[in-house]
Chain A
Amino acid sequence: MMNVLALEFPPVTHLFEWPDFLFTDTPVALNKTGAIYVLALLLTAGLFWAAGRRRALVPVGAQTVAETGIEFVESNIIMQTIGPDGRRYLPLLTTMFFFIFFSNIFGVIPLVQFPANSRMAIPLALALVVWVIYHYVGIRTQGFFGYFKGSLFPPGVPWPLYILVAPIELLQILLIRPLSLAIRLWANMVAGHLLLVSFAVLSAALWGAGFIPAALPFFALILITAFEIFVSALQAFIFTILTAVYIGGSLHPQH
């Protein structure tokens, strides 16, 4: 059980690296990170299943959470970045938001206490999915040459500057966008997890010296835990809204 549950402080190498506990020595070996992704799948699916089952006129419980999530993604992400024709991406972006949020929030869930996105797996995989989607949308909407011409040679720039701008833009749409998307999410969750572990270790270490010395880091630990809940939602929001921004840029190059 020590391979999964956060019942004791792990060795430093296991802050982010977890040994396999199922299907070991196979290509589908499951460790804690993979298990959290499966839990995020079950939680999101369970939430929407429960929301669709109640069918109450005045929503309560899971229905409120699911409907608020959908409305939030639709009003605050899609309508702000893509516009009405971005509604077709609502299922994708809603799924992305909830999946990332649930993967993150396990960083503060007792006995789990590990944000799965502090591993690079899903941040990178999702960033690559986004990369494929926004290129596909851009090429489908503007054509191959139109898309790359619009991206590399933005209008309103004096032509000598294109020598500088075009390579930067090429790097941006091919590399910087997906990498920044992945690294932003990953690094934020790594930093949050390190902070939580540091203050937890500090509190435990100072507990031997008495209640008063341990109180300060413990109080900070509580504050950081609350802050991590906020960061979990914020990073899910940022990842989703940037995805919408990239898709919107491919759909409406004039903006």
Chain B
Amino acid sequence: MSRRLWVVAGVLVGTIAFSASAAGAVGETVGSCIFEELEEAQFDGIEGEGLSAVKNLKDRYKAGDEHAEEIKTDFEADLEDCIEAPNPILPEVTEIIWGGAAFVVLLALMRWKLFPVVKNLMEQRTQRIQDSIDDADRTRAEAMEVKASYEAELLDAKTEAARIVDEARQQAGVVRADLQARAEADIAEMRERAAADVEASKRQAIADLQTEVSDIALGAAEAVLAHNLENPEVQRQLIDDYINSVGAGQLGQQG
């Protein structure tokens, strides 16, 4: 036990002893008080001690002694004091001793062993809970870091994906435009070629038709007009002009 504890214990015991000594004598019963008064009775001018003194006082009083009457009045007052209730506010010495000793012993036990054990238990639990909270905080912080890292990576991936998609979209646009242009060019070329073919076929057809028609017409004309036209060149010119005019009329109707 440390020196300070001894000082505290000394102060406590001293204080309680002081209050006990100041308490005074209280707590005796009415009967014991009266008995004590009778036992210790001694009166001025009256012989005897105790109960014999009381008996002598009674005899003197009955004999008409005025001095004895005064003594009797005083003695009665002393006896009546015994009947008065004890002052309830004054403590009893033995109660202070028992109560004080109980408190001092309890305080010593509490300071020495009982209180520190329970308090340590509470502090250990508090520390354990605090450690758990710290651990949880630390784990949460780590998880948040990992989460932030994953989110950053995810964001990068999303950005990269968007970039790739944009790039692909641009490339697709270029390819599409290229293909479209090429297709349009092909179509135009094919259309020109087809138009040229059609024109050539048309011309060839017209030429073939002209030749054939002129041959037919010539044949027919020869057959019909063999005898009317002597100059064959003139006849041919006439027939060609005729066929041209017929051909132009047919083409105009077809176109």
Contact = CB atoms under 8 A, between A and B. Distances in A.
Interface stretch (A122-130, A165-173, A225-233): A122-130
Nearest to A12: B85
A78 to B, nearest CB: 13
A113 B115 CA distance: 29
A45 B114 contact: yes
Contact of A37 (B15, B88, B89, B102): B102
Interface in A77-128: 90-92, 94-95, 99, 103, 116, 119-122, 124-126, 128
A119 B95 contact: yes
Nearest to B93: A27
Interface stretch (A49-57, A146-154, A195-203, A241-249): A49-57
B79 to A, nearest CB: 17
Interface string B87-101: 011111111111110
Contacts of B98: 28, 30, 33-35, 37-38, 121
A79 to B, nearest CB: 15
Contact of A34 (B29, B94, B109, B117): B94
Contacts, number: 147
A45 B106 CA distance: 7
B122 interface: yes
B181 interface: no
A202 B18 CA distance: 41
Contacts of A20: 94
A41 B96 CA distance: 14
A48 B88 contact: no
B11 interface: yes
B106 A120 contact: no
B126 to A, nearest CB: 11
Contacts of B125: 57
A186 interface: yes
B125 to A, nearest CB: 6
A120 B89 contact: yes
Contacts of A41: 102-103, 105-106
Interface string B116-155: 0111011001001000000000000000000000000000
A29 B106 contact: no
B30 interface: yes
Contact of B89 (A27, A31, A136, A183): A183
Given A37-B102, A94-B110, A120 B11 contact: no
17 contacts: A27-B97, A31-B94, A31-B95, A34-B95, A38-B98, A41-B105, A44-B106, A49-B114, A51-B118, A63-B118, A70-B119, A95-B106, A99-B106, A120-B90, A121-B23, A125-B91, A132-B11
Interface of B: 11-12, 15-16, 18-20, 23, 27, 29-30, 85-86, 88-100, 102-103, 105-107, 109-111, 113-115, 117-119, 121-122, 125, 128
Given A67-B122, A121-B92, 16 more contacts: A13-B29, A20-B94, A27-B93, A27-B97, A33-B95, A40-B102, A45-B114, A52-B117, A94-B110, A125-B100, A128-B18, A128-B19, A129-B16, A129-B103, A136-B11, A190-B88
